[in-house]
Amino acid sequence: MDRTKTTVYLEADLLTAIKALAASSGRREYEIVEDALRAYMRSNAAAVAREQLRTILDRWADEDSGSSEDEATPEATDDAPAP
């Protein structure tokens, strides 16, 4: 499978744990990260987040609110102000 290089910012202790797990299991660091991301994407938490995003996108499509990306971003994230 082709891979694309990207930059990810991680807390130092998490990176240390990834390196230790990779070394102790004979795997590469990127394999540890890929496996963790795949597991998360299959999780209930990710399914809930996808459903919430789908609901927001459907509402925007119905309303055609004309909101700019800067106005819409907080609504689609946890940064949304309380009603």
pLDDT recorded at residue 61: 84
What token pair was written down for 68?
Answer: 């700019």
What does the domain layout of the chain look like in residue ranges? 12-41, 44-76
Tell whether pTM > 0.75: no
> Distance between CA atoms of 15 and 1, rounded to whole angstroms?
24
What token pair was written down for 13?
Answer: 């202790």
What token pair was written down for 57?
Answer: 């996108």
Low-confidence residues in the chain, pLDDT < 50: 83
pLDDT recorded at residue 37: 94
